[in-house]
Amino acid sequence: MTIWSRDTERETVGRRLALVALCLGLPLLGLGYQVASKFTALALQGAPFGVDWLMAALGQPWGPVLLVIEILSMATWMIVLAEIKLSAAFPMLALGYLLVMVAGWTLFHESIGGLQVLGGLAVLSGVWLIGRDRP
């Protein structure tokens, strides 16, 4: 079993870029998106949802950042999928859940209980099991 979309033994720049994008780029972009979302949501707390709300969200300092991160995430995901099988790449996105949990705890002073820690370990275990190079 291999993670690569195409059979070739040759290491390419595209493959290295895809691995870096998958293991570093996408989790960090996902984390940035969630943090920017939280800051924007806090600024809009209590505002009624609608067109005015959307315009207010885009007017927040983090609003345009959300759009840029979304575009960068899409481009990064395309780089990954051009080289790596979907079934191998997608589970790696679960690592972002752990980063977001830690960010919630550190930046927003959200509590993390024992079950959340256990769940995070289960996510890591699941990603490891799915990513093993054995049938």
Residue 38, pLDDT score: 94
How far is Cα of residue 101 from the mean position of the Cα atoms in its chain? 12
Q: Is the pTM of this model over 0.85?
A: no
R_g over Cα of the chain? 18
Query: pLDDT digit string (tens) for 46-61?
Result: 999 999 999 999 999 9
Residue 6, pLDDT score: 62
With H, G, I as helix, E, B as strand and everything else as coil, classify residue 68.
helix
Strand partners, 121: none
Tens-digit pLDDT profile for the chain (135 aa)? 566 656 666 667 777 777 777 777 888 899 999 999 999 999 999 999 999 999 999 999 999 999 999 999 999 888 888 888 888 788 888 888 888 999 999 999 999 999 999 998 998 888 778 766 655
Residue 132, pLDDT score: 67
Burial 75-113 (b: 16+ CB within 10 A, else e): ebbebbbebbeeebbebbebbbbbbbbebbeeeeeeeee
Place of tokens 């800051």: 39
Contacts of the segment 93-97: beta carbons below 8 A, 24+ positions apart? 93/26, 93/27, 93/30, 94/123, 94/126, 94/127, 95/27, 95/123, 95/124, 95/127, 96/26, 96/27, 96/30, 96/31, 96/34, 97/123
